[in-house]
Amino acid sequence: MVSGSSRLALFYSVCFPLLAVAMLAGVGIGSTEMGWQTILRVAGTKLLPSGWIDSTGLTQADVVIVWMIRVPRVLVGASVGAGLACAGAVMQGLFRNPLAEPGLAGAGTGAVLGAVVAFVTGWSVYSVASLPAAAMAGALLALSVVYAMATRGGVTPVATLLLAGIATGALLSAVSSLLLSLNIANWQIAQEMIFWMMGGLEARTWTHVWLSAPFVALGLCAAVVQARDLDLMQQGEETAASLGVNVEGSKRVLMVTAAVLTGAAVAVAGSVGFVGLVVPHAVRLVLGPANRSLIPASAVAGAIFLILCDLVARSIHPPIEIRLGVVTAFVGGPIFILLLMRRYREAGAA
Amino acid sequence: MLDAANISVQRGPRTILHSASIQIAPGVFNAIVGPNGSGKSTLLRALAGIWPVSAGSVTLEGELIGRVARKKVAQKVAYVPQETGLDFAFTVAETVAMGRYPHRGRFAPESAADRQAVESALMQCDALQLKDRTVNTLSGGERQRALIARSLAVEPRFILLDEPTANLDVQHAMEVLELCRRLAEAGHGVAVATHDLNAAARYADRVALVDSGTIARYGPREEVLTADTVRAVFGVNMEAVESAGGHAVYVFHRIGGPQDTVSRLPSR
């Protein structure tokens, strides 16, 4: 049996190179192929003091494609993947339910509605930061409603969680659709709204990186700080309280954390499902359930997962891009069904 | 001393415990018995300081428990509820180490004292060999031992257990109760909620009989567990039979139901 810390070392020694490769592939592969030397040289000229990297031979087109188009897209993908995976891990602990996930628990839909409202009302024109702020507020609203509906006496059964998530999600997405119908005449608004409701990473810019990554980083730090409380919450609220956790306070902070992570992801990529389910599950199989290692590891694995899904989405049938949410659903849907079936089999056997 | 004096507990509009008094003293094994829904769990939660009292007071070594910081209470009073989350595959060692939470800072690494407390808790519960198993693969008895080990890792003065023998077979139930007995003898104040009157009579020093949200009787077991009180609270007739080993065994008859079956057992 491999000990915990060496397993963690092994995990990162595989995942960090994998993340680098995924990023290089994400930037390199596309309608115009970019060699890794070109990518590294462009990145070098942008990041290092001028003169350190010899830029002769780099065309303006290389710089634009790499630095203005593909790098932001990959970074947004990494941020969204990390945010959703981490939000999933937090929500699974919060609901004491391994099947909780931003999409399934309504938080994703709430965040989409928030973003749509910010767009329709024109707040997003006044300040770009209103977009993630509105998405986070929407996610928090949805999470609070689902939590209040599905949790009785500190216990959240799978069935009620899923039903409350579906009901809340349906209601909130109906509101989004209503706003969309009312604004369908305005082509630009309608297009933006469809983007959020279906999810994707096309035309992401550095602005989107800055709208998402800092909040994901913030949420990740908050989640790591609360990791041990989350471990105890997973044992049940009474146990957590008896061991000295301030349960009510902890729940509020965790809910805000999950909402910040979900909102920061949805504001720039729209609704992308199942990342928060698949990634923490996979990581748990390798590292075990302790949140101190699970949460940061899920962030790294989530970044890799989403960059690769986006790569699949745009290279499987060029020049048409498949929606990112479709790809993650094709991966996540069957896994979700599998987990659900296993759960009921176990429940039946017990 | 963990002392509840005339406490009432209110949840929503309902008062589910009325002016109950019980003292959990070091070295004493208290059994809390009573019908379903009588308020046993509520009493334990109030003693653990998890549920606030609406009247009366719970004091922990002379201080009002509500005024003591949550972590300080947790360092002295360990509580094992009936509900446990086992959806996440923590190992037994990780689960027991959670008992060190009230003693550790947010980022403090595990200290030598932590490790020692966990090791000794596992040893006392005869759970060392379960260390690397995950909790979702344990049998009922093993799981209960792991949870008691977690409460011992706290190194508490008082241990409160809610129905630790529910769902256990006879052998494992006796093991758990004997462990509680040993803990009391080692100087812990122990309170165990149970349905099993025979277990209460055999292992406990004092018995609190809870009925419809009040403590109907509280005192030494032989004073509390009498035919009259049991009939009044549980609505059954109780007959005390002496075992070959010399301790009392209770046999129950439903009032108006088929009479004594004990005498019809073939004798060997």
DSSP B26-42: TT-EEEEE-STTSSHHH
Q: Which two tokens stand for residue B38?
A: 């009588």
User: B231 to chain A nearest CA, in Å?
Assistant: 33
Q: What pTM, to 2 d.p., does this model score?
A: 0.88
Q: Is A94 on the interface with B (CB under 8 A)?
A: no
- The whole-number pLDDT of residue A350 equals 44
Q: Tell me, what's the pLDDT at A276?
A: 93
Q: Cα separation of B154 and B102, whole Å? A: 7
Contacts of B48 in chain A (CB under 8 A): 241-242
pLDDT for residue A348: 57
Q: Does A319 sit behind a cis peptide bond, omega within 30 degrees of 0 on the bond before it?
A: yes
For an interface test with B, give the residue of A225, A226, A239 to mutate (most B CBs within 10 A): A239
Does ipTM come in above 0.85? Answer: yes
Average pLDDT estimate for B201-230: 90
Structure tokens at B57: 């007071």
- Which residues are within 8 A (CB) of A268 and not within 5 positions of it... i.e. 6 or more apart? A76, A79, A80, A131, A132, A204, A208, A211, A212
pLDDT for residue B174 is more than 80 = yes
Residue in A closest to B99 by C-alpha: A243
For residue A28, how far is the Cα from the chain centroid?
23
Q: Report pLDDT for B267.
A: 47
CA distance A220 to A308: 21
- pLDDT at residue A155 above 70? no
| Cα A145 to Cα A237: distance, rounded to the nearest angstrom | 19
Distance, CA of A143 to CA of A258 (rounded, Å): 9
- How many percent of chain B have pLDDT more than 70? 95
| Closest partner CB to B101 (pick from A96, A228, A236) | A228
Chain A residues with CB under 8 Å of B99 CB are 243
Does the structure show a pLDDT above 70 at A158?
A: no
Q: Is the dihedral of CA A255, A258, A264, A267 positive or negative?
A: negative
Tokens of B18: 């009325």
| Residues within 8 A of B (CB atoms), A 141-170 only | 154-155
Q: How many CA atoms does the CB half-sphere of A46 hold within 13 Å?
A: 15
Binned at pLDDT 50, 70 and 90, residue B258 comes out as low
pLDDT per position as a tens digit, A293-317? 999 999 999 999 999 999 999 888 8
- pLDDT value of residue B132: 92
Residues B43-80 have pLDDT tens digits of: 999 999 999 999 999 999 999 998 999 899 999 999 99
Q: What is the DSSP string of A98-128?
A: TT--TTTTTHHHHHHHHHHHHHHTTHHHH-T
For the segment B77-103, what is each residue's pLDDT rounded down to a tens digit? Answer: 999 998 776 778 899 999 999 999 999
**How many CB atoms lie under 10 A from the CB of residue A262?**
36
Residues in B closer than 8 angstroms to A239, CB to CB, are 79-81, 83-85
Give one DSSP letter per residue of B45-63, joined into a string: HHHTTSS--SEEEEEETTE
Write down the residue that tokens 């932001």 correspond to: A72
